[in-house]
Amino acid sequence: MGGELALPHCSAGEEGELLLTWDSAEHHFEFEFVPSRPPELFASNRETGVTWGADQKPGAPFPEEGLRLLEPFVVRPPRVV
């Protein structure tokens, strides 16, 4: 990714759910954990209306498309000139 992922907004539900979200003017990404099912990934582009979603299977690599959609939320160190 070439940087560090920005800290997400986090919220917890009464039934043990955990929701991590990243937001910018154009992009939205969420990672939802619910005890009774695999974690879910969801992304949307507010300008184009395009959405994407996937389940994150335990032990499986993180989806390449998910990594690509997280790119807008990567904080890169300043360039030293």
Q: Are 62 and 70 in contact (CB under 8 A)?
A: no
- Report pTM: 0.86
Please, are residues 21 and 14 in contact by the beta-carbon 8 Å criterion? no
pLDDT in the model for residue 1: 57
Question: Of 42 and 77, which is predicted with more confidence?
Answer: 42
Helical (H) or strand (E) element with 29 = strand 27-34
The string of pLDDT tens digits covering residues 4-33 is 999 999 999 999 999 999 999 999 999 999
Of the pLDDT bands very low, low, confident and very high (cuts 50, 70, 90), residue 76 is confident
Convert the pLDDT of each residue in 48-71 to its tens digit.
999 999 999 889 999 999 999 999
